[in-house]
């Protein structure tokens, strides 16, 4: 089955060069590949156009339903690889949606891109099968806390979190909307023994003012508990826009 991509405009796949805005690779130049579809539904998701299509009854705070035809595009792996190669970057960030839902096609895609360093951005609920896993250099795992609106039984799967916690390629990024969210992070850290220097706390927000306000109280919490803080550079640089 070909890859199902998100679009940055109708008929134009969301494949673009930029700098990574979040996590351990923040500021690094890379190519982004954004895939469509997700198995979770965060109420604050800033890429709801990858899953909240007309008829999807899962809640989102904006209440906007997206037309699937305008926001989803199917391309074969060779075409996607050619577009990625043309952008000339050595690092590829595969994001979504939940990209590991398309693991077989991703494994075939990366067979056409033998010389790129690969990051996968995942919600941590699924796994990369061996044919894909062998090509992944970095997992950016973002487990979803209660304020995302996802039931814990869907969002926090012990078997998967155990596996990522012991994988040296995995970094954990928790979206924080209020100081009380830290209690959940600490409980997860203690249960799964996440390495503190592999844990990022990132403010939830899609505008600079909100991010800056929340970082004022988030930074001291990072200092207190030994976590790292992630900004969202792309929001400050480009706003909440596609293809950035």
Question: Is 42 annotated as contributing to ligand binding?
Answer: yes
Q: What is the DSSP letter of 97?
A: S
Q: Does pTM surpass 0.85?
A: yes
Which whole-number Å values give the CA distances from 142 to 164, 196, 205, in the listed order? Answer: 11, 15, 15
Q: Report CA torsion sign: 145, 39, 32, 25.
A: positive
Enter the CATH code of domain 3-238: 3.20.20.70
- Order of all β-strands in the sheet with 3-9: 12-13, 3-9, 72-75
**Based on C-alpha coordinates, what's the Rg of the chain?**
17
- What is the pLDDT at residue 1? 78
Question: Is 220 annotated as contributing to ligand binding?
Answer: no
> Digits of tens for pLDDT over the chain (244 positions)?
799 999 999 999 999 999 999 999 999 999 999 999 999 999 999 999 999 999 999 999 999 999 999 999 999 999 999 999 999 999 999 999 999 999 999 999 999 999 999 999 999 999 999 999 999 999 999 999 999 999 999 999 999 999 999 999 999 999 999 999 999 999 999 999 999 999 999 999 999 999 999 999 999 999 999 999 999 999 999 999 999 9
Question: Is 30 annotated as contributing to ligand binding?
Answer: no
Q: Which residues contact 36 (CB under 8 A, 6 or more apart)?
A: 4, 5, 6, 50, 51, 71, 72, 73, 96, 97
Measured distance CA(229)–CA(199) in Å, rounded? 8
For residue 69, report the phi and psi dihedrals to the nearest 5 degrees.
Answer: -60, -40
Question: Is 95 annotated as contributing to ligand binding?
Answer: yes
Question: Is 85 annotated as contributing to ligand binding?
Answer: no
Q: What separation, in Å, do the N-terminal and C-terminal C-alpha atoms of the chain show? A: 27
Question: Is 38 annotated as contributing to ligand binding?
Answer: yes
- What is the pLDDT at residue 99? 98
User: In the chain, what are the domain boundaries?
Assistant: 3-238
Question: Is 44 annotated as contributing to ligand binding?
Answer: yes
Question: Is 47 annotated as contributing to ligand binding?
Answer: yes
Question: Is 19 annotated as contributing to ligand binding?
Answer: yes
- What is the pLDDT at residue 205? 98
Measured distance CA(169)–CA(114) in Å, rounded? 18
Is the peptide bond preceding residue 116 cis, with omega within 30 degrees of 0? no
């Amino acid at each position: 089955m070909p890859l199902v991509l998100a679009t940055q405009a109708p008929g134009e796949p969301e494949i673009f060069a930029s700098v990574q805005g979040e996590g351990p690779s923040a500021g690094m130049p890379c190519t982004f590949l954004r895939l469509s579809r997700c198995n979770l539904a965060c109420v604050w998701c800033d890429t709801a156009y990858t899953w909240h299509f007309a008829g999807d009854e899962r809640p989102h705070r904006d209440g906007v339903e997206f037309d699937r035809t305008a926001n989803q595009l199917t391309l074969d792996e060779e075409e996607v690889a050619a577009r990625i190669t043309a952008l000339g970057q050595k690092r590829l960030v595969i994001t979504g949606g939940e990209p590991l839902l398309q693991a077989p096609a991703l494994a075939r895609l990366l067979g056409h891109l033998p010389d790129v360093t690969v990051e996968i951005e995942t919600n941590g609920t699924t796994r990369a099968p061996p044919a894909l896993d062998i090509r992944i250099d970095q997992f950016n795992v973002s487990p979803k806390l209660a304020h995302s609106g996802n039931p814990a039984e869907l969002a926090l799967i012990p078997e998967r979190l155990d596996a990522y916690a012991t994988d040296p390629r995995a970094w954990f990024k928790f979206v924080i909307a209020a100081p009380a969210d830290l209690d959940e992070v600490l409980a997860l850290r203690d249960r799964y023994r996440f390495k503190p220097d592999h844990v990022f706390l990132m403010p939830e927000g899609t505008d600079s003012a909100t991010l800056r306000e929340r970082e004022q109280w988030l930074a001291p919490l990072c200092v207190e508990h030994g976590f790292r803080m992630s900004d969202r550079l792309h929001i400050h640089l480009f706003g909440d826009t596609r293809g950035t």
